[in-house]
Amino acid sequence: MASLPKLNEKYSMFSCITDDLETKGFRFLFSAKDNLTSKDMETRCGSRILEGYRPVFDATAIDRMRKAGGKLIGKNSMDEFGFGTFSTNSAFGVPKNPFDPERSCGGSSGGSACAAALIDGHISLGVSTGGSICCPASFCGVYGIAPTYGRVSRYGLIDYGNSLDKIGLISSDPNKLTEFLPVISGKDPKDPTSCAQPEPGPKGRKIRSAAVPKEALESISKDVRSSFESSLETLKSMGVDVKLTEMPFLKYAMPAYYVLASSEASTNLARYVGMRYGRQDGDLTLKFDDYFASFRSEYFGDEAKRRILLGTYARMAGFRDRYYAKALKVRLHVISSYKKVFAGCDAVLTPTMPFAAPRFDEISKMAPVESYSADYLTVPPNLAGMPQLSVPCGYDGGGMPIGMQLVTDHWAEDPLLTFAADWESVFETRRPEVSP
Amino acid sequence: MDRETVEKVAKTARLALSEEELERYSRDLSEILDYFRILDESPEGDGVGVDPVEIADIMRDDVPGIFMDPYELLRDMKTYENYVRGPKLL
């Protein structure tokens, strides 16, 4: 605990660290993405507009971790409101990749994955809207699970896309995912979407067969392809029957996701107007429209403004059917595509990201569409609300981690957790060299 | 998306954009909307997927109660006699 502030100076995985370094009496330490409300620490969501926000209640996931004996040691850096793939859209420190500080941790739960990679036995709460747990888990060489939509209560989660947001876990130890997913899961009357969930199925179910969609392999880097193909051989040696399949509907998932996520975000962010939460230091002598507009323009970051504009446009009269309504139809087609595959096999298998963690100078040159496109493997299961797991599966020539993603049917988290534990025994995971 | 449309959308969304931002977002959003064009080719269907899983309607008894202390909620807000302060309406 004493070395955390120094470690954080180098890697910026926490936007806030607890003042109370006493760990006596706690069963375990954990951290949480900074879009989960916490009573004892500021919650800023990576946004200047929420500076100073001190919630009066804990998010259910944090509350359940505390009740299980956990100590919350810090809030993890993240892209502003979750808007990003590389955690570079953070107002309070951009997390640096533990394998190479010149590279990204991925996003938007980048700080969570960074902490999981750097701190032995650490467990961190992440949140995934379009793959924001699997992406950073892949870039940081750790295990990450985003369970079925509704498995974990969203109470106390600062909404990005209400129909997409999933709270999950990241750790370098897959057994921690197995240990803590039941802790944070379960019905919560404060979030009706959590109340539809069935009880977890029998434990220990294995993934016996997996389908690889051809479409998923079209735009991946040479290093990712090589690691993924080598992993397929390992899977076969584990007794998993791997076959190729076609999922043509996946090509519609990305634009549908960005329409829905931006539309929902643009309404959710309407509440930030310089009153009630966070910063409230605007000029109250202005007329209310001018006050709201000037405050929001000053304190929202670049990507937040872009997504607000996009979402507002997609919901406007005359465009709603073309974008928003169409995206809702696409979601059903994507769910149906997955269900068809699951009728014949246990999991859909792809690389997690099309490339290993990019350098910050490469990211700064990316156009928004290029950056959005990087999520094309993690977005479809998130759009469909399916559980998704990323496991480390290789390293590129420079030693940067590469991840593999498994998706199972709604509510079938247990086979993913069993797989993660089995995978750890056949894949040699590397740990980064930590130098504070 | 042309600059005039960006301006109109920004006004609806309560954003006051600079000249540079209007130009830049106009360019970015045009590229993004081009990317969305593939949705025009996607097949129609009968239903809409508002939620990815079936969500049960949860009802509770209509019993009044205080779930959070309102004075604690007001603690971090700018207030005047327990009213939240805001900009003037007129």
| pLDDT per residue as tens digits for the range B52-90 | 998 877 788 899 988 889 888 898 899 999 899 999 887
C-alpha to C-alpha distance for A380 and B29, rounded to whole angstroms: 22
Q: Please enumerate in sequence order all residues whose Cβ is within 8 A of that of A234, keeping only pairs 6 or more positions apart, or say none.
A: A426, A427
Report percent pLDDT > 90 for chain A.
92
Residue B25 has pLDDT above 80, yes or no: yes
Question: Residue A163: which of B51, B75, B87 has the nearest Cβ?
Answer: B51
Helix (H) or strand (E) holding A401: strand A401-407
Q: So what's the pLDDT on residue A311?
A: 97
C-alpha to C-alpha distance for A174 and A199, rounded to whole angstroms: 22
Query: What is the tens place of the pLDDT at every residue in A214-242?
Result: 999 999 999 999 999 999 999 999 999 99
> Would you call B48 exposed, middle or buried from its count of C-beta atoms within 10 A (0-12, 13-18, 19+)?
middle
> Are the C-beta atoms of residues A115 and A32 closer than 8 Å to each other?
no
Residue A11 has pLDDT above 90, yes or no: yes
Question: Does any CB of chain A come closer than 8 Å to the CB of residue B32?
Answer: yes
Q: Which residue of chain B is at minimal alpha-carbon distance from A150?
A: B53
Q: Please enumerate in sequence order all residues whose Cβ is within 8 A of that of A423, keeping only pairs 6 or more positions apart, or say none.
A: A174, A391
From residue A62, alpha-carbon distances to A10, A126, A163, A245 in Å are 26, 11, 21, 39
Residue A167 has pLDDT above 90, yes or no: yes
Inter-chain touch A56–B68, beta carbons under 8 Å: yes
From residue A98, alpha-carbon distances to A137, A411, B72 in Å are 12, 32, 40
Query: What is the tens place of the pLDDT at every residue in A381-434?
Result: 999 999 999 999 999 999 999 999 999 999 999 999 999 999 999 999 999 988
Phi, psi of A283 (to 5 degrees): -85, 105
Our CA-based measurement puts residue B29 at a distance from the nearest CA of chain A, in whole angstroms, of 7
Q: So what's the pLDDT on residue A2?
A: 80
Q: Please enumerate in sequence order all residues whose Cβ is within 8 A of that of B15, keeping only pairs 6 or more positions apart, or say none.
A: A293, A296, A297, A300, A305, A308, A309
CA angle, A123 as apex, A119 and A128 as ends, to 5°? Answer: 120
> Would you call A54 exposed, middle or buried from its count of C-beta atoms within 10 A (0-12, 13-18, 19+)?
middle
Q: So what's the pLDDT on residue A238?
A: 97
Average pLDDT, chain B: 90
> Are the C-beta atoms of residues A140 and A383 closer than 8 Å to each other?
no
Q: Which residue of chain A is at minimal alpha-carbon distance from B71?
A: A56
SS3 content of chain A, % helix, strand, coil (to 5): 40, 20, 45
B3-12 helix and A302-315 helix, angle to the nearest 10 degrees: 90
Q: So what's the pLDDT on residue A169?
A: 98
Q: So what's the pLDDT on residue B75?
A: 87
Inter-chain touch A255–B35, beta carbons under 8 Å: yes
Predicted confidence band of residue A436 (pLDDT cuts 50, 70, 90): low
Q: Which pTM value belongs to this model? A: 0.96
Contacts of A37 in chain B (CB under 8 A): none
- A318 or A59: which carries more pLDDT confidence? A59
Average pLDDT, chain A: 96
Q: So what's the pLDDT on residue A327?
A: 95
A250-268 helix and B19-36 helix, angle to the nearest 10 degrees: 140
Q: What is the CA radius of gyration of chain B?
A: 23
DSSP A325: I
Our CA-based measurement puts residue B43 at a distance from the nearest CA of chain A, in whole angstroms, of 8
**Can you tell me the mean pLDDT for A343-368?**
97
Report percent pLDDT > 70 for chain A.
100
Which active-site residues of A does the annotation give?
33, 108, 132
Contacts of B63 in chain A (CB under 8 A): none
Q: So what's the pLDDT on residue B90?
A: 75
Q: So what's the pLDDT on residue B44?
A: 84
> Are the C-beta atoms of residues A227 and A393 closer than 8 Å to each other?
yes
Q: So what's the pLDDT on residue B54?
A: 86
Q: Which residue of chain B is at minimal alpha-carbon distance from A383?
A: B52
Residue A181 has pLDDT above 90, yes or no: yes
List chain A domain ranges. 4-251+328-426
**Can you tell me the mean pLDDT for A104-128?**
97
Contacts of A256 in chain B (CB under 8 A): 39, 42
Q: So what's the pLDDT on residue A317?
A: 82
Helix (H) or strand (E) holding A167: strand A166-171
Q: What is the CA radius of gyration of chain A?
A: 20
C-alpha to C-alpha distance for A303 and A84, rounded to whole angstroms: 8
**How many beta-carbon contacts under 8 Å exist across A and B?**
180
Q: Please enumerate in sequence order all residues whose Cβ is within 8 A of that of A93, keeping only pairs 6 or more positions apart, or say none.
A: A12, A14, A15, A77
Our CA-based measurement puts residue A45 at a distance from the nearest CA of chain B, in whole angstroms, of 17
**Can you tell me the mean pLDDT for A288-296?**
94
Report how far Cα A310 is from the mean position of its chain's Cα atoms. Answer: 21
| A114-123, A163-172, A191-200, range with the lowest pLDDT | A191-200
Q: Please enumerate in sequence order all residues whose Cβ is within 8 A of that of A351, keeping only pairs 6 or more positions apart, or say none.
A: A216, A217, A220, A224, A225, A227, A228, A377, A393, A402, A403, A404, A405
Query: What is the tens place of the pLDDT at every residue in A25-68?
Result: 999 999 999 999 999 999 999 999 999 999 999 999 999 999 99
Question: Does any CB of chain A come closer than 8 Å to the CB of residue B15?
Answer: yes
Our CA-based measurement puts residue B78 at a distance from the nearest CA of chain A, in whole angstroms, of 7
A172-194: b or e for each residue (b if 16 or more CB lie within 10 Å)?
bbbebbbbbbebbbbbbeebbbb
Domains of chain B and any CATH numbers: 3-41 (1.10.20)
Q: So what's the pLDDT on residue A272?
A: 96
- Picking from A34, A38, A35, the residue whose alpha carbon sits closest to that of residue A54 is A38
C-alpha to C-alpha distance for A124 and A76, rounded to whole angstroms: 9
Helix (H) or strand (E) holding A391: strand A388-395
Architecture of the structural domain at A4-251+328-426: Alpha-Beta Complex (3.90)
